[in-house]
Amino acid sequence: MKLQIGRRALLTLVGLTIWALPALAIPELQLYVEGSTYDASTETWVTNSSNFKLWVIGDVSAKGTILNVHIAAAFLTGEVGTITLTPTTTSLLTDPSTPSVPTYHAGLGADGTIPKLDDGTDLPSHGIYKAGTSWNQYDIGNLSLKDSPIGDFITSYPASFPDMGQINVYDVSITGYSMVHFDTYNHIQGKKKMMYVNAPFSHDSEGTPSVPEPASLLLLGLGMGGSALVGLRRRVKR
């Protein structure tokens, strides 16, 4: 009898422990590309199209407004092209708000430099920002709305959407570049201090147009720069 009671108590304790475990948190910032494929080796949403919808997803339910959000778009130095972000919405889920036009920051992103958070610190390294890579910065303002259902966009499109947050969708058009890698980042005003956040590098995205423009073909012929970058890329897991 004592043994039976002990087993029951143990099973009850295990059940309560499992029930009490917190659900996996949704990152404050995420990126997603409609119709893309998740590359498990680089932990990145990848599309081979030069025209696609890029989502910036903000989970503002837990910690509040994400302030002055930036998008960095990295490309191979020496390639000449354009990256256009046009505000739009998605039809895949409820997305009632169209974002404003991003503000492009000229003069940033020289070869080998690293994007910076607003406190002056570097965006954590994940094998992208190095010699041979340049980048553009776009400001998209604050993320504060709770008008779209959001989930964890990792490895696959979410099966559930447990939180409400803001989704900014942009029609992206790429010309001239063989690879454009996107990151998003900035900060939340905490009760005592700023909290700096970025999309985990398991939640970033990349456009790799399958038919490069002539400038890209020239670079690939000279040094296979795109393949070298992909081969050397490393990711920091969550």
Burial of 212 by CB count in 10 Å (0-12 exposed, 13-18 middle, 19+ buried)?
buried
User: Residue 165: its pLDDT value, please?
Assistant: 96
Q: Examine residue 206 and state whether it is found in any structural domain, yes or no.
A: yes
The two tokens of residue 115 are 């994007």
Identify which has the larger pLDDT, 172 or 216: 172
Does 14 fall in a domain? Answer: no
Give per-residue pLDDT as tens, 135-148: 999 999 999 999 99
Chain segment 72-91, per-residue pLDDT in tens: 999 999 999 999 999 999 99
Rounded CA separation 182/123 (Å):
12
Question: Is position 31 within any domain?
Answer: yes
**What share of the chain in percent tops pLDDT 70?**
76
Q: Tell me, yes or no, whether 20 lies in a domain.
A: no
CA–CA dist 8, 206 (Å, integer) = 52
Positive or negative, the Cα torsion across 155, 156, 157, 160?
negative
| Amino acid 107: pLDDT | 86
CA distances from 16 to 2, 7, 13, 25, 223 (A): 21, 14, 5, 20, 58
The domain spanning residue 44 has which CATH number? Answer: 2.60.40
Q: Is the pLDDT of residue 208 over 70?
A: yes
Q: What's the pLDDT tens digit per position in 157-197?
A: 999 999 999 999 999 999 999 999 999 998 777 666 667 77
Residue 31 is part of which domain span? Answer: 27-232
pLDDT confidence bin for 6, thresholds 50/70/90: low
**Domain-embedded: residue 10:** no
95 in a structural domain: yes
Which residues are 174's β-sheet partners?
Answer: 83
CA gap 36, 219 in Å, rounded: 25
Confidence of residue 101 (pLDDT cuts 50, 70, 90): very high
Residue 56, both tokens: 């910036």
Label residue 120 left, alpha or beta by phi (over 0 means left) and psi (-120 to 50 means alpha).
Answer: left
Question: Average pLDDT of 214-230?
Answer: 34
pLDDT digits (tens, 9 = 90+) for 21-42: 344 589 999 999 999 999 998 8
Instruction: Locate 76 and state its tokens.
Output: 């191979």
Asked whether 109 and 134 are in contact (CB, 8 A), the reply is yes
Q: Which of 143, 153, 141, 25 is nearest to 93 (CA)?
A: 153
Q: What is the mean pLDDT of the chain?
A: 80
Is residue 1 domain-resident?
no
Q: What is the pLDDT of residue 126?
A: 86
CA-based nearest residue to 228, from 78, 122, 125:
78
More confident residue, 53 or 193: 53
96 belongs to a structural domain: yes
Can you give the pLDDT at residue 102?
Answer: 97
Number of domains in the chain: 1
pTM, whole model, 2 decimals? 0.78
- Point out the least confidently predicted range of 11-25, 45-59, 107-121, 217-231: 217-231
